[in-house]
Amino acid sequence: MLNIEQSLDLIETWLDKKGFVLCKSKKKTIQDEVDFERKVVFLSLRSSPINQLYSLLHECGHVIIRGRKDYKIKYKSHYKVSEEALTPTMQSSVEEVEEEINAWREGENLCNKLSIDINTDEYYKYASRWVMGYIVIASLGNEHLLPIVKDALEEEDIQEKKDIKVDICKVLDNAHNPCYYELIPKPEP
C-alpha cells in the first residue's frame, strides 16, 4: 500500500504525462488550483498531508474534465463567464458547482486507476466542505466568500501571487529550451 508521499509522487508523474507541472508551496497566497494557461497545478502545503492528497486528486479532476473535447459544450456558460470575466449567471453558477462536484468524482476515479488507497468517506466529507462553499457563493454572491479566501484576495496578495507565478515560469523557461510556451503550447482560445 502506498503512503501519502508516494501517492502524491504518483499523481505528479501522472500530471507530468499530461503536460502539467506540480507546484507545491507553503506560501499562504498559494491555494489549490490549476492554471490552465500555464499548465501548472498549485498545491498548498499548509494543509495536512492527507488533505493535500485529497485536494490534488480534485485538481486533477479539473484537469481531466477540462481536457475533454466536450468541456466547452457541457460547461458553456461557466466557461464563457470565467474566460471573459463576466458577472456569473444562474446557469453559469450551476455549471460551476457541477464542475466542482464532478472534479471530486473524477479525482476518485483517478485514485482507483492509480491504485491509491483512500478512505472515500473521509474524502467526500472533505470534498463537501469545499463544494458547499461553492454552493453558498453561487447562491449568495462573492461577498460571502469564506474569510480565508477573502484574505487571500487582498490586493497585495494578488500581486505576490502573480510574482510567484512569474517566478515559476522563469524557472520553467530556464529548465526548458526553447521557451515554456513553445514547449507547452497555449490551449486554443
Rank residues 21 and 127 by Cβ distance to Zn ion and give the closer one. 127
Q: What residues have CB less than 8 Å from 85, skipping those under 6 apart?
A: none
Size of the site for Zn ion (CB under 5 A): 2
Shortest Å distance, C-beta 98 to Zn ion: 11
CA distance 46 to 103: 21
Q: What residues have CB less than 8 Å from 43, skipping those under 6 apart?
A: 22, 23, 24, 25, 30, 32, 52, 55, 56, 59
Shortest Å distance, C-beta 33 to Zn ion: 7
Instruction: Name the residue among 109, 36, 113 with its Cα closest to residue 71.
Output: 36
Rank residues 100 and 108 by Cβ distance to Zn ion and give the closer one. 100
Shortest Å distance, C-beta 8 to Zn ion: 18
Examine residue 88 and say whether the peptide bond preceding it is cis (omega within 30 degrees of 0).
no
Shortest Å distance, C-beta 85 to Zn ion: 18
Half-sphere exposure of 45 (CA within 13 A, CB side): 8
Shortest Å distance, C-beta 58 to Zn ion: 6
- CA 113 vs CA 34, 82, 127, 152: distances in Å: 21, 30, 19, 34
Chain residues 83-122 in contact with Zn ion, contact rule CB under 5 A: 100, 103
Residues that bind Zn ion (CB under 5 A): 100, 103
